[in-house]
Every structure is written in C-alpha cells, then in structure tokens.
Amino acid sequence: MKKLSRPELFIKLAKPNENWVSRWVKKDEFVWDYLDLYFENWCSWWRASSTLAKKYIVEFDKSLTSWNRVDAIRLNWFNNESSWTQWIRKDIWNFYTKKRCIVLDTWKPEVDHKNGWKNSEKVMNPKTQEFSDFQPLSKAANDAKRQHCKNCRKTWIRFDAKKIWYPISYYKWNEMHIWDEDWCIGCFWFDPIEFRKNLKFTWN
C-alpha cells in the first residue's frame, strides 16, 4: 500500500465533508497510526507540502493554551487562489462530446472527470490534463455517478458495484477511501470500461 504523506494522513484523520470542511483535530489525536503528524509548536509539515497547502484553506487554533502554539487544525474549503479548476481543456471536451456514453451507449454525452473526488493536481489543471483522465457519460449516468461520488466523499466508503448486480464490489483497494487520488481506481464509476475488463468470471 502506498505510504501517505503527512498532509494526506491528516486528511484521512480529519475526514472533511463533501464541502471539504473538516472538524477541528486536536494535536493530542496524533498518536498510533497518526504519530507522524505530531509536532511541537508549529505544523511545518503542512506548509512543506506545496500541492495541498495551495489547494486548501487550513486554519490553526492557538487558543487552547497560553503558549501561542498550534493546538488544533482544520480544513476549511478550497483556496480560491489555487490553480485548481473544474475547467476541461477544449480539445479534450471536443473529443469526448463526439463519443457515445460508455454506460448507456447514447449520444451527446457530458465529459466526466474519472476521479470523482477531484483531488488530483494534474487532472484539475488544464495545462496537465490528459485524455485518459476523462470519459463520456450521458447526463443520466453522470448524475448517478455524481450522487455516488458525493456519498463517497461524505462517508469515505466507496461505491459497491454489487448494488448494480456486478459480482465484485471493486477490482482494486478496499471499501474505505483514504483521500489519495489513486484510491478511486477500481471503482465502477471511475472507469466502467476498465472495471468490466477486470471481472474475473464468465457470463452464463
């Protein structure tokens, strides 16, 4: 399993909601699996991660003690000055809008970010986007995916494909999402075509 950076580990512990606002996490929670997050006075490991520091507004609480030190941290939405955007590059948009929906085989699809958490710096920056980061989905399919991705972000539990009569839930990772951008891989909605290719059975 990929080792998480300390900012990624904090996000896993803080569990921000669908609006990317987390609870206040006190420093005394940095124990056991989260011991790497512990610091004395200042949370230097967050600012050391330029990617996440630019993406999120991070708030620090110094009111719990009289030493002017950071005692609790929370995420509070996205940083509006970040280069991250939901805009899809025009050549990618034009390519996929001419395709059929990969779920319902209908025309005039919407162009979908495969990563429903939209937490990949590469995918959320038009300058670094690739065609493989997107897929054509009809409005009906994309609306369904959007609801399931929203629920995943809220509960941190990935969509179970057995609910739509597939014999497996996902072909990679387990049911818990851990924020990592690669953790959407293996979910049906991330890439229905690749999901079907990984079915380990024969239809009767």
Per-residue pLDDT tens over the stretch 79-126 = 655 666 778 999 999 999 999 999 999 999 999 999 999 888 889 888
136 shares a domain with 186: yes
Evaluate whether 10 touches 25 at the Cβ level (below 8 Å): yes
Residue whose C-alpha is closest to residue 75's, from 55, 51, 58, 62: 58
169 shares a domain with 127: yes
189 shares a domain with 94: yes
The reported pTM is 0.73
Tens of pLDDT, residue by residue over 29-70, are 999 999 999 988 778 888 766 667 777 788 888 887 766 688
Q: Which two tokens stand for residue 98?
A: 């001419």
| pLDDT confidence of residue 84 | 66
Domain hosting 135: range is 90-197
Q: Is residue 134 part of a domain?
A: yes
98 shares a domain with 59: no
Tens of pLDDT, residue by residue over 138-182, are 999 999 999 999 999 889 999 999 999 999 999 999 999 988 889
Output the DSSP codes for 134-161: EEEE-HHHHHHHHHHHHHHHHH-B---G
